[in-house]
Structure 1
Amino acid sequence: MTINVLLADDQAMVRSGLRFILEDQADIRVVAEAADGVEAIDLARRLRPDVCLVDIRMPRIDGIEVTRALAGPGVPRPLRVVVVTTFDLDEYVHGALRCGAVGFVLKDAGPALLVEAVRAAYAGDALISPSVTLRLLRHLTFAAAPVGTGPTRPLSARETEVVRAIARGRSNQEIGAELFISLSTVKSHVSGIQTKLGLRNRVEIAAWAWANHVVGAD
């Protein structure tokens, strides 16, 4: 399995850095680079990469509009877009996710989170940098997420711990370390939680947790 990735950022040095991080992984390959939004849309539509990493502030068309064009409502055969940016302004986070992004990662979040976001997007999941997750989920309502519904079957004590960790923005690796369980066990719990709650990904799990007071402010 190789995950084909498109990089879209107007700074060549940033693109080089992202390429270096990603291609250090045996299962990830950068297939194209774009220096502006128009080029990103054109390359993405022609090459159909598995994941598009898109900066917010780019010439000609910004990352929000690129995301809308590639993954927004009504787009046939939408692509998986992860926004990678220096800026964690609420308007950017909300805009990116509402336009179809399946991830929002800050450039200073570190290589491990970037790689995990790519793999999560490829797997049909979603990941947001922990530093913006709490603020986002306290205020953002996901129209598509049935956050008011209860589980079809009760969550186990361990599943509830995993839900709380997800709601606090923990990655799978961090959850495994905190709960002393393997990465595969974490993934199994996440899958089971999604099934019980009827949700699509970890972002919706976190939204459900905040909406239903499964987790609160520390």
Structure 2
Amino acid sequence: MSATTVVVADDQELIRGAFAAIIDAEDDLTVVGEAGDGAEAVAAVRRHRPDVLVVDIRMPLMDGVEATRLVCAETDTRVLVLTTFDQDEYVYGALRAGASGFLLKDVRRAELLAAVRIVAAGESLLAPSVTTRLIHDAVRNRRPATIEPPAMAQLSGREREILALVGRGLSNAEIAVALTLSEHTVKTHVSNVLSKLQLRDRVQAVVVAYESGLILPGE
């Protein structure tokens, strides 16, 4: 099995080098590039097409949120955000841009490595319940945006119901119990929702559930 390839982007050279060294020391992980700002990060991803981009939120020239947006729009690279800032707005911006999870920079070595592997495997790092809280807090005082009607119109009534429950942070097992369905059936519905709405993972599904108005803050 080939190693998971990673690009590390941070404007602080010592931090960037430390994270790169930790990741590259693993047999199943290989750092193929480093970047000191958001523009360099996007260029490195375009050049190396890594499995994962580990990117800081606050960087010069282009911040991590914009870099994440471009990377997720152009490639299949998964994004893991590292930051010293845990405010909801920063996290929300990164998740909305397509990041699959985030960690604070004081993360332990084992947690960093586990996060890279989880994201590389196509999973979301944040538990849906945590994501729901963050997005709820971020959009609480906003008027929800409306997703393009054709996108939501593709969903069946059952799929909209599933999306709403995913948005509230329920796992597949919990949704299965709530709707009296098999867990396999729920998994199929979730997969169909992600495919129809062109979403990468459940994290983005939570964002869409709120931004489409399917779930309102405070519900």
* Range of TM-score over shorter length: 0.5 to 0.7
Look up the match of 2:203. Answer: 203
Q: 1:63 to 1:129 in 2, by over 3 A?
A: farther
Look up the match of 2:122. Answer: 124
Q: TM-score, normalised to structure 1's length?
A: 0.65
Q: How many Å apart are 1:50 and its aligned residue?
A: 1.0
Q: Secondary structure at the match of 1:7?
A: strand
Look up the match of 1:66. Answer: 67
Question: Could you tell me which amino acid in structure 2 is paired with residue 113 of structure 1?
Answer: E
Q: How many Å apart are 1:121 and its aligned residue?
A: 2.0
Q: TM-score, normalised to structure 2's length?
A: 0.65
Where do 1:1-218 residues align within 5 Å? 1-72=2-73, 75=74, 77-128=75-126, 133=131, 135-139=133-137, 148-150=160-162, 159-160=173-174, 194-195=187-188, 197-198=190-191, 201-203=201-203
CA distance in 2, matches of 1:194, 1:205: 14
Question: Could you tell me which amino acid in structure 1 is paired with residue 188 of structure 2?
Answer: T
Q: Secondary structure at the match of 2:161?
A: coil
Higher relative contact order (CA 8 A, sep 6+): 2
**Contact in 1 for aligned 2:6/2:51 (Cα 8 Å):** yes
Q: Secondary structure at the match of 1:127?
A: coil
The total of aligned residue pairs comes to 183
Structure 2: any 5+ residue segments left out of the alignment?
164-171, 178-182, 195-200, 209-219
CA distance in 2, matches of 1:61, 1:207: 23
Q: Secondary structure at the match of 1:149?
A: helix
**Contact in 2 for aligned 1:64/1:95 (Cα 8 Å):** yes
Percentage of pairs with the same residue: 43
CA distance in 2, matches of 1:81, 1:12: 20
Question: Could you tell me which amino acid in structure 2 is paired with residue 159 of structure 1?
Answer: A
Q: Could you list the per-position Cα deviations for residues 174-212 of structure 1 after superposition, in whole angstroms to 9, with x for gaps in the alignment?
A: xxxxxxxxxxxxxxxx9886335446545368789xxxx
